[in-house]
Amino acid sequence: MFLIVHTAAATVISQQTGNPMLVFLMSFFSHFVLDFIPHGDEKLTDKTQPKNVQFRKLFWVATIDSFLIFLFSIYYLLMFAPTHYGLFFVGLGAAILPDLISGLSFVLNGKFNKDYPWLAKFQNIHKTIHTFFERKLNFLIPLKYGLIWQAFFFLMFLSLLK
């Protein structure tokens, strides 16, 4: 899922408890729950293209996604005026952390695998969860339908904000 959906889920989670550790853990694990659901962006890049073309495409997707997170954050902080801003930011950080690690792996071209094997193991687990339906059932939804599906999840989380 795009990070904006993970951010919205983490925001709802951050409103449910005042415990930062619980917000971190629940937001972090919610990332994997949402990534388990087929959502259309599993094949954003074409592995047959040169690495620089893949990188450019991912860069622009990440830039737009980050801008949407920024707009959502401003909206949430101004409209809902949470009593604990820190919980929101803890949840946001935890929810996007798995994709930040994946992005680091992509940018470094897997170079940290030999120096930090636990990061490589984490990346493999993340990828396994992300591609479960594709690998096990040969089920992959097209990006255009995935965007609609992700918008549904985003709006659902948005409706749960209080």
pLDDT at 83: 84
pLDDT at 19: 97
pLDDT at 96: 97
CB 31 within 8 A of CB 95: yes
* Tokens (6 digits) for 58: 């991912």
pLDDT at 110: 62
pLDDT at 3: 96
pLDDT at 48: 77
Q: Average pLDDT of 87-106?
A: 91
**Which has more confidence, 49 or 28?**
28
Band the pLDDT of 112: cuts 50, 70, 90: low
pTM of the model: 0.91
What is d(CA 26, CA 22) in angstroms, rounded to the nearest whole number? 6
Question: Which distant-in-sequence residues (6+ apart) come within 8 Å of 45 by Cβ?
Answer: 54, 57, 58
Quickly list H helices, the chain.
3-14, 20-36, 51-79, 85-107, 112-115, 117-130, 132-137, 143-160
The DSSP letter of residue 141 is -
